[in-house]
Amino acid sequence: MIDRRVESEGPLNRLDDWDDFVEARYPTPGAKATEDFRKYDDGARDGVREFYQLNHRFQTYDFVQEKKKTYLSFNHSPMTVLDAVDYLNTLVDDSDPDIDLSQREHLLQTAEAIRADGHEDWFVLTGFIHDLGKILCLFGEPQWAVVGDTFPVGCAFSPRIVYPEFLADNPDSTDPRFNTRLGIYEEGCGLRNVDLSWGHDEYLFHVITQAGCALPESAQYMIRYHSFYPWHREEDYEYLLDDHDRQMLRSVREFNKYDLYSKSPERPDWSRLSGYYTSLIEKYLPGKLQW
Ligand SMILES: [Fe+2]
Ligand SMILES: [Fe+2]
């Protein structure tokens, strides 16, 4: 049998080590980061630090423009949502399959937790698809360009970004075009006009919106900004927001609750759930999407 398994490239043993680190940093839903998150240690810590070193050094304004040019031409592969879920599920890490959840299992646990709380179907589907942009790893992108807390590029870096000291290695931090409070942006310009560091959030947002996504705007915000912790948790970058962003913040925070705290050792049964999710996809995101 052909081995189709692909590993993500980078210092994390598992792509989900980043998610686990974020959860350790934010043990209380809705609250800011705990001061002692640096003590986070389960053997994955060195990999996580190295991961942030790379992420903070290489996520420059120019890098983001280059990735947008590459991926927002959508010439990688036409796939339905379910094709993309299957494809993402071929991503394996240096992990123990008996203990660690697959990518599909994380999507399902997030979605099922949203459903169990009686939320609307579009919200459930948002949980089911929110990390599909991680297929960037399968297109050969390194971990630091796929996951990680996102932050604006093109203006000064916030000290509320995790491991801010690593941002000193980012050439934009000494570039006078980019290292002032507003940089290339205008006060209150709105997040839609701000470039964030490149990753799975931004990519999926563009994939679904260019396909004429019927999901409500709250869902689009949840997808696009779910890793933007310096905003939705640390409450920074107020000066870039417009009133619309402020309204949408509630939705992004509501989503984060499920993304971060829905992990459970109980494995969801895809064969039992597939019919329901297929009908949601038919309703909101039918047919092939361009990736
Ligand atoms: Fe994510
Ligand atoms: Fe997630």
Per-residue pLDDT reduced to its tens digit, 194-238: 999 999 999 999 999 998 889 999 999 999 999 999 999 999 999
| Contacts for 260-266: CB closer than 8 Å, 24+ residues apart | 260/19, 260/22, 260/23, 260/26, 260/29, 261/23, 261/29, 261/113, 262/109, 262/110, 262/112, 262/113, 263/23, 263/101, 263/106, 263/109, 264/109
Q: How many CB atoms lie within 10 A of CB 194?
A: 20
Ligand 2 centroid–CA 5 distance in Å is 21
Question: Is the distance from CB of 252 to CB of 222 less than 8 angstroms?
Answer: yes
Question: pLDDT tier at 1 (50, 70, 90 boundaries)?
Answer: very low
The answer for residues whose C-beta is within 8 angstroms of residue 138's C-beta and 6 or more apart is 6, 87, 88, 90, 91
Detail the DSSP E strand segments found in the chain.
Answer: 6-7, 78-79, 91-92, 289-290
The rounded Cα 76 to chain-centroid distance in angstroms is 20
Residue pointed to by tokens 């980043």? 18
Q: How far apart are CA 246 and CA 252, in angstroms?
A: 10
Which ligand approaches the C-alpha of residue 261 most closely?
2
* Higher-confidence position of 186 and 41: 186
Which of 229, 242, 232, 235 has the alpha carbon at shortest distance from 187? 242
**C-alpha span between 161 and 167 (Å, rounded):** 9
> What residues have their beta carbon closer than 5 A to ion ligand 2?
131, 259
Digit-coded pLDDT (tens) for 138-175: 999 999 999 999 999 999 999 999 999 999 999 999 99
Q: Which ligand is nearest to the CA of 258?
A: 2
51-105 pLDDT tens trace: 999 999 999 999 999 999 999 999 999 999 999 999 999 987 666 667 788 999 9
CA of 62 to the centre of ligand 1 (A): 23
Q: Give the Cα separation of 134 and 123 in Å (integer).
A: 19
Residue 40 scores a pLDDT above 80: no
Contact yes or no for 84/244 (Cβ under 8 A): no
| CA 227–ligand 1 middle distance (angstroms) | 6
- End-to-end CA separation in angstroms for the chain: 27
Quick one: which ligand is closest to 203's CA? 1
Q: How far is the CA of 183 from the centre of ligand 1 (A)?
A: 27
**Which are the contacts of 55, defined by CB distance < 8 A and separation ≥ 6?**
144, 145, 148, 166, 197
